[in-house]
A and B are shown apart, each in its own frame.
Chain A
Amino acid sequence: MSVARLLVVGTWLQLKMRARSAFDGVLALVYPLFFATTVFLMFRQGGESGALVGAAVGASVMGVWSAVSTTASTSLQSERRQGTLELLVASPTHFPLIVVPITLSMAIIGLWSLVTTLLWGRLVFGIDVRIDDPAGFVAAALVTVLAIALVGYLLAVSAVRYRGAWAFGTALELPVWLICGFLVPLGQLPSWVRPISWLLPPTWGVSAVKHAAEGSSPWLDITVCVAVAACYAVLATAVCTRLLRSARAAATLSLT
């Protein structure tokens, strides 16, 4: 009960903090719409309505990924800069229980971008994403958001030890759009890229969302997405203790 309470209170306060920055708020509102507009204009030139629907779904997940990947590690860097990282580590709570709400709050913001992208496509570009399996679609979207949050968790944990890890998180933003098949089907990527795609939970998440939208079963993709994301969570939790110890040895919890 106390763990659940900690996760809920932590996530709520993180959301509250992010919601109170006008700059962050406007970015969260407008940024996904820029992505979506660019993608819709590109795909509309192709004139293929099926591809446009796929692009709408892909663009919606892009927003979730961007919200988490770039901010998961930078938010830990911000904690370091404002002197709260040391206080978090100095508390008796297991560190993963502190980091998960941070990335979860970003994924929830990402969820907002998923919804607005689909609405933007419908209202401005007239893209009618008919969702044939609403239950599967909702499940796929939620699992994708959670899976992306867990990838963010691994990135965030690395940022505790390595002061420069935030740059790695930021650098991952665009390649993942491509590698995970958000916009381009995996089949069109070079064969050597595909094994990398399979190791990334968003690949399975976006595939599940697309399947649910098209009316085919998303459950296999959902299951694989959960399994791969769970591996990231286990890996992050396993390395967390070692990275924290290493950060205490290398004195990287503070800026000086």
Chain B
Amino acid sequence: MGKKKKEVDDRFKRFGTVSFTSITKINDFIDYLDQGKIMGTRCKECGLFFFPPRADCYNCLSSDMEWVEVSGTGKLVTYSKLEFAPIGFGDDLPYAIALLDYGDYKMFGRIAGDVPEDEIHAGMEMTARVNTLPNGQLNYVFHKA
């Protein structure tokens, strides 16, 4: 009679090429990615919105959050195209990491591989979309709006 193994909710291990986190209270984020949605959280107590999503509000210390979809376009703040990659990311090269400004919040991610390099410039309007990586992992990438 073996002990029944406790089920571990480690959905977050599917985030990004290599995820360094597997267990977090905002694991539903991954289910939303599966549905093609990028979600942030809003504190139901004080109304503060968070992206990336958080389980806890530092403003009012509440943990009562609701999911809110991120939509619209953002402006490219800055980016860098990598010629070398840290261990575990070599197969993705070359790729560009970037920051998008949605006005009330910013999003760190990658620029979609099919955006021509000579068309990338700071200030351009972009939109984030869910992306499935060749290894089956999920992330989001920025496309020209």
To the question of whether A and B form a pair in one complex, the answer is no
**What is the interface of chain A, defined by CB distance below 8 A to chain B?**
none
**What is the interface of chain B, defined by CB distance below 8 A to chain A?**
none
